[in-house]
Amino acid sequence: GDSVTQMEGPVTLSEEAFLTINCTYTATGYPSLFWYVQYPGEGLQLLLKATKADDKGSNKGFEATYRKETTSFHLEKGSVQVSDSAVYFCALSGGDYKLSFGAGTTVTVRA
């Protein structure tokens, strides 16, 4: 079945550092790929998505490129802020009704 494997955390960074969170997937067909973010005390929010190979999703300075050849969708941000501290989830949808999530990566950014 469909599954997502993402980099284990926690990840601790200083402000303005570069962030990468690795995500790889296993799926039949051509899934859509997502990154969700969960801030403390809040629900999941869609951060960005890509629906086909070589698409780049971007939002709030975050980017991720759908790489079919390596079945990856790594999340990157060039200069993190304290407000980026959250749990980040990689997810996929195989075109049916459900999302399959990774285990999440906790990111803490220190001033």
Partner 1 sequence: ETGVTQSPTHLIKTRGQQVTLRCSSQSGHNTVSWYQQALGQGPQFIFQYYREEENGRGNFPPRFSGLQFPNYSSELNVNALELDDSALYLCASSLALNEKLFFGSGTQLSVL
CB of 103 to partner 1, least distance (A): 5
* Residue 106, H or E segment: strand 105-110
Q: Which is nearer to partner 1, 29 or 41 (CB)?
A: 41
CB of 87 to partner 1, least distance (A): 9
Residues 97, 100: Cα–Cα separation, whole Å = 10
Q: Which residues contact 14 (CB under 8 A, 6 or more apart)?
A: 109, 110
CB of 16 to partner 1, least distance (A): 29
Residues at the interface with partner 1 (CB under 8 A)? 4, 41-46, 89, 91, 93, 95-104
Q: Which amino acid is at 69?
A: E
Q: Which is nearer to partner 1, 15 or 103 (CB)?
A: 103
Q: In which residue are the tokens 């200069």 written?
A: 79
